[in-house]
Amino acid sequence: MWRQQHIPKLFAKLTHIPDLRRAGSVRRPITVVLFYGLLVFVFQYASRREANRNATSPPLFAALHQVFPDITSIPHFDTVERLLRTIPAETWEDVLRDRVTTFLRKHGVHQYLVQHRWVIVVDGSEKFARVPIW
């Protein structure tokens, strides 16, 4: 259900990001490369080498292709890294702001407010703790 509602909208937003790669050497659409970068982030791989080794496995590719037919091949993570270097941070902020705003408006997350405030959890491994609301 989440995929049906949010992923197409995310892909639509990603298509608005300017592709500054050389047109003759582009083998995958920008949306596929960026989505793969997002997956590597979600899977929390420690390095590009680990991402290339694990995220390019045939079982994962088969599962991704079944869910997202746009993904016909998985890019090398160096490709993702080079593309990410060319995209300004403000572009990511716009995409993120739009997706988060839509999510907050449409999904009734207001029920999770505590004393009319959002609770934000940051794992600092108990380096700093605070009980009262900041």
Supply the range of the domain harboring residue 41: 2-108
Number of domain units in the chain: 1
3-class SS of residue 119: coil
125 within domain boundaries: no
Q: Are 72 and 65 in contact (CB under 8 A)?
A: yes
Within a domain: 115:
no
Per-residue pLDDT of the chain in tens (134 residues, 90 and over written 9): 444 566 777 777 777 787 777 777 777 777 778 888 887 777 888 888 888 888 777 888 888 778 777 777 778 888 888 888 888 888 878 887 887 777 777 766 777 778 878 777 766 666 666 667 66
Distance between first and last Cα of the chain: 35
pTM greater than the 0.75 cutoff: no
Residue 68 domain-assigned (yes or no): yes
